[in-house]
Amino acid sequence: MKLYRFLTGADDSAFCHKVSLALSKGWELHGSPTYAFNATTGEMQCGQAVTKTVHGKEYDPSMKLGEQ
């Protein structure tokens, strides 16, 4: 099965660490990152889609994608 996640966060080192952690767990970048201004918080926000192929499991909507 192929899984999809969209990681988001403020434009800071914590976001980069979040993406780096996903990559270290076998997730792969999918498409280009996004960058937008959040008028509510006054901060720039980042987003990055990642995908991962997991063999031997069936998709279940209750699964925690970050633990795969």
Q: What is the reported pLDDT for 47?
A: 98
pTM for this one? 0.87
Predicted local confidence at residue 68, as pLDDT: 85
- Let me know: does 51 contact 28? Beta carbons within 8 Å: yes
Q: Where are the alpha helices (DSSP H) in 1-68?
A: 13-24
**Mean pLDDT for the stretch of residues 6-22:** 96
Q: Where are the alpha helices (DSSP H) in 10-68?
A: 13-24
- Domain ranges for the chain, please list them: 2-53
10 Å Cβ neighbour count for 50? 21
